[in-house]
Amino acid sequence: MVNQLINKLGDFFFIVHNYFTTFAQIFWIMNFDVKEIVSATMVLFAVVDIIGSVPIIINLRKKAGRIQSEKTAIVAGSLLVVFLFLGKQLLNLFGVTVEAFAVAGAFILFFLALEMILGITLYKGTTPESASIVPLAFPMVAGAGALTTVLSLRAKFYVENIIVAIIINMVIVYIVLKSSERIEKFLGKQGITVLHNLFGVILLAIAVNLFTTNIRAMLFVH
């Protein structure tokens, strides 16, 4: 009985050992690097700033009724991965520069900020399906900043590590979107109102900065 148990445990540890050995070999062959993954994840997390977008998410959820967290994470993650490989080529195909793309994203953020600050509705026809893609997946999560960031990261890190960083960030985005109701209850009406107005102003400042920086770059190039 004891010998059988020992043999089964031996077989189990042998399988586990082989599994981790195989995983380590794949990890090494595909240029995975924990340091690069952590660095890329932190950079993307700072640019996406999903935690800072909680008041905007709550505002959109109230207008749309609900947010499809899975769709937002999948669409945003897909946009980032596609842009990682085909970003410049895709924009060049339509004769659009990275700066012009960023300016377009700035306009969407600008009007979204006005909605938050003034309490008006500019973006009509908000449904769970549409709000989950525009403006949440783009430009809130996979905005001009995040899309251009993945292009910059590719010059420094291996593609495999950037993809892992994107996946980690999309998991965080999904969790935050799913938890938005709990966050709202925790903060209360007054807390939400304060954050709503504060982040409306911050979002407006981000939009203006994104607009002026890229307009300046466009004028300088041309």
pLDDT digits (tens, 9 = 90+) for 145-202: 788 778 778 877 889 999 999 999 999 999 988 888 787 778 777 777 777 777 778 7
Residues 94 and 1 in one domain: no
Sites in the chain below the pLDDT cut of 50: 12, 16, 19-20, 22-27, 125-126
pLDDT at 195: 73
Residues 17 and 86 in one domain: no
CB 60 within 8 A of CB 181: no
pLDDT at 117: 79
Residues 71 and 169 in one domain: yes
Residues 176 and 214 in one domain: yes
The tally of domains found in the chain comes to 2
pLDDT at 91: 79
Q: How many C-beta neighbours within 10 Å does residue 129 have? A: 10
Q: Which domain holds residue 2?
A: 1-30
Residues 59 and 76 in one domain: yes
| 68 Rama sector, left if φ>0, alpha if ψ -120 to 50, beta otherwise | beta
Residues 196 and 162 in one domain: yes
Residues 22 and 105 in one domain: no
Task: Indicate the pTM of the whole model.
Answer: 0.63
178 to each of 47, 108, 173, 184, how far by Cα in Å? 20, 24, 9, 12
Residues 10 and 87 in one domain: no
pLDDT at 81: 93
Residues 109 and 19 in one domain: no
| Cβ-proximal residues to 174 (8 Å cutoff; 6+ apart), any chain | 69, 70, 72, 73
Instruction: In whole angstroms, give the CA distance from residue 61 to residue 180.
Output: 9
* Closest listed residue to residue 49, CA positions, set 150, 146, 184, 186: 146
pLDDT at 166: 95
pLDDT at 210: 75
What tokens does 140 get? 């809130």
Residues 137 and 157 in one domain: yes
Residues 112 and 124 in one domain: yes
pLDDT at 124: 54
Residues 61 and 148 in one domain: yes
Q: Is 62 helix (H, G, I), strand (E, B) or coil?
A: helix
pLDDT at 2: 54
CB 166 within 8 A of CB 77: yes
pLDDT at 94: 86
